[in-house]
Amino acid sequence: MINSELALPYTLIVCEKRDAARRVAQAIATSDFKIITLGRKLGMPSVFSITDRNNQRFIVCYAMGHLYGLIDVKGKRSIYPVFDVRWTPVKGNARGRQIIETISTLSQKAARFVHACDYDLEGEVIGYNILQYACNNKYENSLRAKFSTMTDEEIRSSFDNLLKPNTRMAEAGKSRHVIDFIYGVNFSRALTQSFKVSNNDKRYRNLSIGRVQGPTLAFVVDREMEIKRHIPESYWTIQAEFEKNGQIIQASYYKSKIRTLSEATSIVNACTNQYGKIMKIEKQKVIHKPPAPFNLGDLQKEAYRVFRFSPSYTLSLAQRLYIAALISYPRTSSQKLPMSLNYRKIISSISQLGYPYSNIAATLLARGRLFPNEGFKIDPAHPAIYPTGEKPKRKLDSSDFRLLDLIIKRFLATFGDPATSLHTTVAIHVKGEHIFTAEGNKMLYDGWIQIYKPYFKIVNVELPELFENDILKNLAVTIDERVTQPPPRFNQASLLEKMEKEKVGTKATRSEVINILFKREYVSYTTSATPANTNGGKRGIEATQVGIQIIQSMRKYVPTIVSTDLTRNMEGQLEEIELGKSKSTVVIESAVDQLKGAMLTFKEKEVEIGKQITDAILSSQNQQQTSFGTCPKCNKGILKMIRSATTKKRFIGCSNYSTGKCKATAPLPQKGSIKASGKLCTQCSWPIAKAFYVRQTKRQWEFCVNIQCPSKKPR
């Protein structure tokens, strides 16, 4: 950096990431915007030097997320339990150390310090650690910038109204990290060590479990056990077609499940070719209230429903839109839009974005007053997610645009009128004793649904004009055999919803916890939501044998780690720290006391636990090498690697192949090792296999096993 830059008095602003720092610098600067580098050392990070409208000098620096992390003071990975921890620069992060060095140098001549990281627990901890460790204990003397959008106007306003540092939020955030670290490091070391000991140190596998990871995995395992315990039972349904004036009326027998075939057959025989008589018509107007604005969890679930975006991907997109000043801060629990936001101004800005927003906005702005429909959830730090109305400064890619469109339309829909539909239920009697029901639905007024298109709709089911005592011609009565279904498997959205409901994890960390379960191979995708139903091709989350065994072992020996009560109570205590009702030391000491007893039990059963996990891992590996998931042709059998009895060549075939029920097959390479990757082809939904040579592990590749896959056709 040029010495003159350091010679002038300046305020050092600490932001969370480079993109955020640039936005802050651009918003505050009125002149003299410079990108500068401290010294000439290769690779040193640049910072932003600016002057504001009051001729004040600022240097804006940035982290890259967490620059500091917790470590075990003793540093021996094979030892547990450990409770002595400290903060230190993240190990192995060379870039992070360069950033710390730059910030430390800048802090030495800074006149003031402003903490401008995200205004939440994680952001507070990131800024706290930088100001304490890199800037030599400057957190208490710093000022806090709080903003919910990255618009120039709100950033400038936050710097005109700087706050005192939020020490209680910092304490709560640090306490969460300490508690999660000691639970995670101790149980993860215990699991990994038990595996090594049971294998006489001949095998190693990185295993982990934690305060949030444990209960989340337990949700998936418990659901899997329900599915495995389910015994399908046959039942029968009866449908009928009636006619009036050439219009068909579809009706169902009033008993939704008939337990025996003989009873169902008796009903069909009695009703066939018999006229129906309308005995009762009920009509009910149904009011559909506008939706609440998005908080992060609602946005992740809705984006999964309409786009199939994973929760973590949705969060990354939302963060990009936030940094681009297009939406408000996404990591919020709130479903509230306070009046201080100036709804009319935001909607006016949205109207400038063009069709279709301009038409919707014009209709809303024509109203005298604007009142959004809100939910019940609140967040003291940020309002619900809302669009700023700013025009994108760059062309958005497809995913960014789709998520922004969803957020804009959801925001506008909250100001819409309630929608109204007319629901009609018709009771049709056959021979006086058999009752069929037909249902119709008609939209009377679209209201907010018109605004939220195409993301929500209510399907119209037309019925002809009917009156009581009308006689209907019976066209057909049919019987359908079905079987009871187990509960559906979780998908990423429903698992996230379960975590929210049980108060496991935080809005910012839940999606990452789900990703860790996949990374550790505790869970995997399956092609069907339930074993007997592909659910329209929607993928479910299935617990692996390893995941199941870990939960079973933990429940037997250390049930604390998979207890939702533990996590829920801990979240409550952390909230009390933030509210000033409890002290960090008390909460951490309580957590340590609970952990000590569990660790002693684990140590006593270390070999037994390790053997159980080893058996599950070996069994899982053997199964993985031969099983490739549900057959995409029949949706019932399992694709397995088979070796021909005559040619001795290996191929993939459906488990129903030998019975003649399914002829799905696919060739395989005849050399090298083959195993399933756990992935599905994006073009044909057949499994992706991995091929490699044992002595050339670097030479491996993945391929779709389907010989007819569109990706294999020449272009």
The answer to whether the beta carbons of residues 44 and 153 sit under 8 Å apart is no
Per-residue 3-state assignment (H helix, E strand, C coil) for 172-195: HHHHHHHHHHHHHHHHHHHHHHHH
pLDDT the model gives residue 599: 87
pLDDT classification of 631: cutoffs 50, 70, 90: confident
| Range in 169-178, 379-388, 682-691 the model is least confident about | 682-691
pLDDT the model gives residue 424: 96
Residue predicted with more confidence, 690 or 329: 329
Mean pLDDT value of segment 624-650: 76
| Cα distance between residue 183 and residue 599, in whole Å | 10
Give 289-307 pLDDT, tens digit per residue.
999 999 999 999 999 999 9
Q: What percentage of the chain carries pLDDT values higher than 90?
A: 60
pLDDT at position 43 over 70 = no
pLDDT classification of 662: cutoffs 50, 70, 90: confident
pLDDT at position 363 over 80 = yes
pLDDT the model gives residue 714: 59
- If you average pLDDT over every residue of the chain, what do you get? 89
pLDDT at position 161 over 60 = yes
Q: What percentage of the chain carries pLDDT values higher than 70?
A: 94
Give 466-475 pLDDT, tens digit per residue.
999 999 999 9
Give 52-66 pLDDT, tens digit per residue.
888 899 999 999 989
| Cα distance between residue 412 and residue 361, in whole Å | 8
pLDDT the model gives residue 676: 79
pLDDT at position 680 over 80 = yes
The answer to whether the beta carbons of residues 429 and 277 sit under 8 Å apart is yes
Contacts of 193 (CB under 8 A, 6+ apart): 78, 80, 606, 610
pLDDT at position 535 over 50 = no
pLDDT classification of 44: cutoffs 50, 70, 90: confident
pLDDT classification of 600: cutoffs 50, 70, 90: confident
| Cα distance between residue 332 and residue 222, in whole Å | 29
Exposure string for 370-391, b = 16+ CB within 10 A, e = fewer: bebbbbebebebbbbbbbbbbe
Of the residues 313, 329, 452, 557, only one is catalytic, namely 329
| Range in 165-174, 342-351, 450-459, 626-635 the model is least confident about | 626-635
Residue ranges and CATH numbers for the domains of the chain are 3-164 (3.40.50.140), 174-230+491-617 (1.10.460.10), 234-290+423-483 (2.70.20.10), 296-413 (1.10.290.10), 631-712 (no CATH)
Give 589-599 pLDDT, tens digit per residue.
988 988 888 88
pLDDT the model gives residue 108: 92
Mean pLDDT value of segment 143-170: 94
Tokens standing for residue 126: 């990131």
Mean pLDDT value of segment 149-158: 94
| Range in 71-75, 241-245, 260-264 the model is least confident about | 71-75
Mean pLDDT value of segment 611-637: 75
Whether the model clears a pTM of 0.75, i.e. scores above it, the answer is yes
Nearest to 494 by CA among 509, 512, 514: 514
329 is catalytic: yes
pLDDT at position 339 over 80 = yes
pLDDT classification of 697: cutoffs 50, 70, 90: very low
